[in-house]
Amino acid sequence: MNAFQKIVPVYGSMDILSKVEGPCFTSMTQLNYKLLNLIVMANEISQTNNMPANEVLSQDIITTNDQSTTTDNYPTTIKRLSIIIPAYNEENTIGKILDRINEVKLIRNIEKEVIVVNDCSKDNTEGALQNYINNTPNLTINYFKYIKHDVNQGKGAAIHTGIAQATGDYLLVQDADLEYDPGEYNTLLKPIVLGSADVVYGSRFIGGNPHRILFFWHSIGNRVLTFLSNMFSNLNLSDMETGYKLFRTSIIQRIYLHEKRFGFEPEVTQKVSMIPGIRIYEVGISYYGRTFAEGKKIGWRDGFRAIYCILKFGLFNNQLIQEVPEKKQPAGVEA
């Protein structure tokens, strides 16, 4: 029996780390070791000096990043990429997006870890997922996790769950609705493997890639939100709301994230920009947008929430660093 035919469901989100099965977490990169040691040191220093741990860590992170950027951008070795798929009522597309991910061969033989988070779908998303895995030969996905929320919590909450479970050196979020093309993973990875970036955003508004023509006011709203986000983050992004964001796992897992719906995008952007020495790149990607009749879920209320999040996380000194509990590596199979 194919190892992927065993989907390990994890119900709930609070005790998720204790319920996922698999062998122990593999060896990490030297930077990961440094960051883990920094957490312990920061907690000890904060207890001794009554200084918040996140302030200590912010000083140490800039030292770590300065060291990594003074090596003439030597190529980065990546063993595994974690692909987080938040899914809500995507029974018609979950198999198709997995098929596209399965077809992608990552540069430098990077392994693929897929983490599907079912946010309490009301349709047969779970059945469609099981059917795909049981009936798809020659899977190239090296590791697989399936997690189900007991109640619908929102896209951001599903992403939080996936981030906590990621064991790859880097991770990205892949919507299950076919708006973003997995064939462009290698485009996102290029600045990483060259040793130039810690975070890469895929922009729908730069480059010569295909872009479906849809809603005028949505495009205006997106540019306004990106402009406001840039004002408070002091970045020059062209597409803050993009669904394609690639993060170094050891960094994103230590950022405290609060927003449970579409506010994830402005929150993570503001908080990543606060990390001293962080290296953020942007590359052009294609975009195959959906209409509301085709299942698009974001609405005008989410736009106002995004403005609130930009102001909240851009103006106030919010909690940035969190401790990362120990997790287990998923069971997998060689491709």
HEC sequence for 59-103:
HHHHHHHHHHCCCCCCCCCCCEEEEEEEECCCCCCHHHHHHHHHH
Give the length of the chain.
Answer: 335
User: Could you tell me how many helices (H) and strands (E) the chain has, helices first?
Assistant: 10, 7
pLDDT at 320 over 80: no
Lowest mean pLDDT among 99-103, 165-169, 299-303: 299-303
Lowest mean pLDDT among 13-27, 100-114, 133-147, 188-202: 13-27
Residue in 1, 224, 193, 179 with CA at minimum distance from that of residue 79 = 193
**Of residues 153 and 27, more confidently modeled:** 153
- Structure confidence at residue 74 (pLDDT): 72
Lowest mean pLDDT among 87-96, 197-206, 315-324: 315-324
Lowest mean pLDDT among 17-26, 219-228, 280-289: 17-26
**Of residues 136 and 215, more confidently modeled:** 136
pLDDT at 90 over 60: yes
Residue in 251, 95, 55 with CA at minimum distance from that of residue 168 = 251
The architecture (CATH level 2) of 3-27+71-315 comes to Alpha-Beta Complex (3.90)
- Structure confidence at residue 40 (pLDDT): 41
- Structure confidence at residue 327 (pLDDT): 56
- Structure confidence at residue 210 (pLDDT): 72
* Alpha-carbon gap, residue 48 to 213, rounded angstroms: 57
Task: Over range 52-77, report the average pLDDT.
Answer: 49
pLDDT category, 44, cuts 50, 70, 90? very low
C-alpha distance from residue 100 to each of 70, 144, 325 (Å)? 37, 15, 32
pLDDT category, 171, cuts 50, 70, 90? very high
DSSP notation for 224-285: HHHHHHHHHH----S-TT-S-EEEEHHHHTTB-----STTHHHHHHHHHHTSTT--EEEEE-
pLDDT at 215 over 80: no
- Structure confidence at residue 211 (pLDDT): 67
- Structure confidence at residue 32 (pLDDT): 45
Lowest mean pLDDT among 29-33, 131-135, 197-201, 330-334: 29-33
Global pTM value: 0.74
pLDDT tens by residue, 251-309: 999 999 999 988 999 999 999 999 999 999 999 999 987 565 665 556 667 778 889 99
Exposure b/e, 109-133, CB count within 10 A at least 16 = b: ebbbbbbbbbbebeeebbebbeebb
Q: Which residue has the tokens 């953020």?
A: 280
